[in-house]
Structure 1
């Protein structure tokens, strides 16, 4: 097994969920302040990547071109295992990919990354308000996102931000509920799950829910 050096000086295989989250938060802070380090992107790193991968986080993100995961977290080659779907929606292949990262690669942190001005959330909101559904397979996006919006409305949510935040919360809860292997990792303390919303306006990735790793002021999800 190849051991990769992290910015903390520990191997990615020994990084805790809290350490992995700290690396992402600090990288995002560098990106926000326009002080990105662009780490682990040189020829030596490329050569190392030919022998295997040991990412420290798996991120389920929206496919939106304005949310390039490795860039906004200022990470390098082999650091993040990225899964992208419009509206960060899940299906069996997404859940299988998440479990491959956690079980097969030993990733300690799962991140659900929504964002400001999400087109999938907007489409679902429009469908709820007008009763009009998009044509073709795009209607699947609306069908997948609408339950999150209904849940947000039930809790008093009205704005696009409310809907985007709640959609991330619902997707994170869905992953924990549907994946016994991720849930086991949470209960054993080897895995953390965090839902975040990326703000296009200033570049901040704000946590909105956590499982298995605490962030002050951020609600913790229910593992019962």
Structure 2
């Protein structure tokens, strides 16, 4: 929304509409966000990229999103090229949407989503593309609380069709922590993130970038109840 259009809309609202203060503040933030020009993603260091993600998550948790990089101008800016400042391997769970929970926009995050956030060959290839060819300086493997795929692996469930494939991919991680005290599923969620990171580090393309300091790999755990992402490795 253009600022002049917003002001015109607001003036009309005075006479013909009843708007709450929160409505006006929300629309103003939308207008301001559309005019922001954030730091160019390629210039971010791996640590700065991680900080940017965590700051966005803090805004999400506090219910103070800025909705960056969601304007028409941003759409045109990334139409011909993309330079995501972060790559995230996360679960396909409908409640775990990286752009929302990290308060980012178009072209900011290269999403690779698959049940159980497992590093299949296809997922690994997608990540290699983002890191090696697009220059993404940060890779996060993001697990989440009460993950259904991890739960199935912990309970050793027999599932139909190809659903069993991602359970099989998580079982080695679950086996590592089966005797640990505490919640078995949550222990396995953390262990699975660490296990998938270990598998990703075997990629020559990723390890080269990691050893040169051009890439940082971290793990995260998303809390479904609070919305907070905690770094776990």
Q: Residues 198-209 of structure 1 correspond to what in structure 2 (within 5 A)? A: 198-209=222-233
Partner-residue secondary structure (3-state), 1:193: strand
Partner-residue secondary structure (3-state), 2:155: helix
Other-structure match for 1:77: 106
Partner-residue secondary structure (3-state), 1:153: coil
1:55-114 deviation per Cα after TM superposition (whole angstroms, max 9, x unaligned): 100000100000011000000110000000000112211111111001100000001011
Distance 2:51 2:57 in 1: 10
Distance 1:68 1:156 in 2: 30
Residue 88 to residue 27, structure 1, CA distance change in 2 (3 Å): same
Could you tell me whether the CA contact under 8 Å between 2:88 and 2:140 is conserved in 1? yes
Q: How many residues are treated as equivalent by the alignment?
A: 198
- Runs ≥4 in structure 1, deviation > 3 angstroms? 154-158
Other-structure match for 1:48: 77
Unaligned runs of 5+ in 2: 1-35
Other-structure match for 2:13: none
1:21-65 deviation per Cα after TM superposition (whole angstroms, max 9, x unaligned): 000000000000000000010110111121211110000010000
Partner-residue secondary structure (3-state), 1:136: coil
Q: Residues 137-216 of structure 1 correspond to what in structure 2 (within 5 A)? A: 137-153=162-178, 158-177=183-202, 179-209=203-233
What CA RMSD, in Å, does the superposition of the two structures yield over aligned residues? 1.5
TM normalised by structure 2 equals: 0.81
Larger Rg: 2
- Which of the pair is proportionally richer in helix? 2
